[in-house]
Amino acid sequence: MPSRSSPPRSFVLSFKRLSRLSVHAGLAIAALIVAEGGAHAAPRPAELSPAVPSPAVSSPAPAAAPGPANVALTFDDLPGIVLKPDQAYVDATNRALIGSLKRYHYPAIGFVNEGKLDEIIRKRQIAVLRHWMAAGFDLGNHTFSHSSPNEIGGHGYVADIARGEKVIRPMMENAHRRLQWFRHPYLETGNPEAVKAEINRWLGGHGYRIAPVTIDCDDWEFAEPYDNAVMSGNKAEAQRIRGIYLAYTERTIGWYRRAAQALFGRDIAYVMLLHDTRLNSDSFSGLAAIFNRQNLHPISLAKALQDPAYRTPDDYSGKDGIEWLERWSLALNKELPWDDYEDVPKIIETEYNKLDSQ
């Protein structure tokens, strides 16, 4: 998720969109070939047989419920993303989010940008992290400043990772826990390959495991328009955005499940990327209902990564940040079902871009 102090990634043409463009171009060409080859055989409307009454068609059977699958819930950008610096707003967001996770008995992990600690009130920002840990949730490193290795290079990126553990490493150790998880900002893992290898060597040498992503519903793009509605007291607008977000999230989860079937012939144990936002704290009952309808059962990140799918090679070292199903599709030389992938609704994208440009 691009922070408001970081350059947005909207100018980068994602691999996902490139892949979809290629697929659609191929489908269009194939359609033209079929149309050309069959033009002489196709009857004109006047040559068609007289209409014959169609047999009665029964209503389609209800869609079968999805099979059971597991999902790890991971929250980026602790101690929280907020449109405007408001510590009370951040505190309330985290109390509600943590309370919902506990109420539904969902495991989760929070990935911290320590650079955020001084953006509002440092003591209270650290208290937010302690609240997560006191509730039984581990913390992970998300770099200090949410920078990209594409912008600051391998050496600078490694230094930013090291700077991002000054608070959370002793905090975890004092609680007799191990700081072991790292999440790449923007999912950008290093380019070219030598930079990626340098980063991976440093991470491995310091006891880190990379937290992959296999469900990404772009919740960050909804979060700022939602904050704007809540902070301006526009309850109807906030409700509208929540509804669009939850509907899009459920459709996108379905797409990732179809993508896993395309690669592995089965559901995998998914890792879902979410963000520490008021949108997610206010929408949590809706998210829980989606997991229930989708027959998805939250598990820990460590347990999710026991799935053999996560042993698939990640050979991708491009500049764009792409999630792991896309990376594996390259390694396995298999297509993903791009023809029915949906981008974030245009109205949300427009609202986000308007706010982010202010």
pLDDT digits (tens, 9 = 90+) for 119-170: 999 999 999 999 999 999 999 999 999 999 999 999 999 999 999 999 999 9
Residues 129/171, Cβ–Cβ less than 8 Å: yes
Residue 170: exposure state from Cβ atoms within 10 A (0-12, 13-18, ≥19): exposed
Per-residue pLDDT of the chain (358 residues; tens, 9 = 90+): 433 333 343 333 344 444 444 433 443 333 333 333 433 333 333 333 333 333 444 444 456 778 999 999 999 999 999 999 999 999 999 999 999 999 999 999 999 999 999 999 999 999 999 999 999 999 999 999 999 999 999 999 999 999 999 999 999 999 999 999 999 999 999 999 999 999 999 999 999 999 999 999 999 999 999 999 999 999 999 999 999 999 999 999 999 999 999 999 999 999 999 999 999 999 999 999 999 999 999 999 999 999 999 999 999 999 999 999 999 999 999 999 999 999 999 999 999 999 999 8
Q: How many residues does the chain have?
A: 358
- Contact 263/336 with Cβ under 8 angstroms? yes
| pLDDT 10s digits, 20-55 | 444 334 433 333 333 334 333 333 333 333 333 334
CATH 3.20.20.370 fits 69-356, yes or no: yes
Listed in sequence order, the DSSP H helices in the chain are 15-37, 87-103, 122-134, 149-163, 168-174, 193-205, 219-231, 235-264, 278-282, 284-293, 301-304, 324-332, 346-356
Instruction: Count Cα atoms within 13 angstroms, Cβ side, for 109.
Output: 29
The position carrying tokens 């390694």 is 331
Query: Domain residue spans in the chain?
Result: 69-356
Q: How many CB atoms lie within 10 A of CB 174?
A: 9
d(CA 230, CA 234): 6
